[in-house]
């Protein structure tokens, strides 16, 4: 695998401005890290909440320039605040499983909370649909090449170990799409953008209402 630092969509510009980052070895590839990751928080407040610049969005004139914080009500259930400590670009190996690879990455780098997106293509995959009535997953096998149109996921802890939760949309050669909870995705080529988060310990515990392991914060 290959791991690179990225700051939002400005990685190329930042590298040329602040210089090339340092590299460190990892048994499946190279990790490139540097001061660029510190710039991630320039558009966030102390709690890591995004600050929306209205002038940049074209909503206010320069003389009326201001910033507003995206807030969530104090009574909202399950609100957890984190800082983005680092962002990584990950190129997965051919024939690797996307879920296992992300789990291994989290375990080796001590990542306990993160979010990620992925694009690329898979040779085959196993998806699942959660039956809300019977509280069980129904598996769907895909045995042909598909494009990864969208893949979103997160990493937290379950029983003290990194746990990857991801959903994916896959498209075949005709453009027909299939989607669901990602159990396995055998990579043809895949690129992942991971945001490592710093904050309270985030662990999944069994929820009797849904039959799922959901987030709780210690």
Mean pLDDT of the chain: 76
Looking at residue 165, the DSSP 8-state letter turns out to be: E
Quickly state the pLDDT bin for 77 (edges 50, 70, 90): low
pLDDT tens profile 119-145: 999 999 999 999 999 999 999 999 999
Task: Enumerate the domain spans of the chain.
Answer: 2-55+77-217
Local structure of 17: helix, strand or coil: helix
pLDDT tens profile 2-57: 333 333 333 333 333 334 444 444 333 334 443 233 323 334 444 333 333 333 33
The yes-or-no verdict on residue 94 having pLDDT over 70 is: yes
CATH class of 2-55+77-217: alpha beta
Token pair for 104: 């291994």
What's residue 78's pLDDT?
Answer: 77
The yes-or-no verdict on residue 166 having pLDDT over 50 is: yes
What distance in Å separates the CA atoms of residue 33 and residue 151, rounded to the nearest whole number? 24
What's residue 123's pLDDT?
Answer: 98
Which residues is 164 bridged to in the sheet?
A: 155
Q: What is the mean pLDDT of residues 91-120?
A: 98
- Residue 176 φ/ψ, nearest 5 degrees: -70, 135
Cβ-Cβ contacts under 8 Å for 71 (sequence gap 6 or more): 49
Phi-psi region of 93 (alpha: psi -120 to 50; beta: other; left: phi over 0): beta
Q: Comparing C-alpha atoms, which of 141, 118, 115, 116 is closest to residue 128? A: 141
């Amino acid at each position: 695998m290959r791991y690179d630092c990225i700051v939002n969509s400005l990685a190329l510009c930042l590298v040329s401005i602040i210089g090339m980052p340092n590299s460190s070895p990892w048994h499946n590839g190279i990790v490139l890290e540097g001061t660029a990751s510190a710039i991630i928080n320039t558009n966030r407040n102390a709690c890591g909440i995004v600050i929306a610049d209205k002038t940049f969005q074209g909503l206010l004139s320069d003389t009326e320039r201001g910033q507003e914080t995206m807030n969530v009500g104090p009574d909202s259930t399950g609100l957890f605040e984190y800082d983005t400590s680092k962002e990584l670009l990950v190129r997965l190996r051919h024939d690797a499983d996307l879920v296992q690879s992300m789990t291994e990455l989290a375990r080796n780098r001590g990542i306990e909370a993160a979010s990620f997106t992925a694009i690329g293509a898979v040779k085959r995959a196993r998806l699942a649909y959660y039956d809300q009535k019977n509280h069980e997953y129904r598996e769907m096998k895909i045995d042909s090449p598909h494009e990864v149109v969208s893949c979103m996921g997160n990493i937290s802890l379950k029983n003290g170990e990194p746990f990857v939760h991801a959903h994916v949309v896959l498209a075949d050669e005709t453009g027909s799409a299939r989607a669901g909870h990602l159990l396995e995705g055998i990579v043809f080529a895949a690129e992942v953008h991971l945001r490592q988060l710093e904050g309270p310990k985030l662990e999944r515990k069994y929820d009797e209402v849904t039959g799922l392991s959901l987030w709780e914060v210690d």
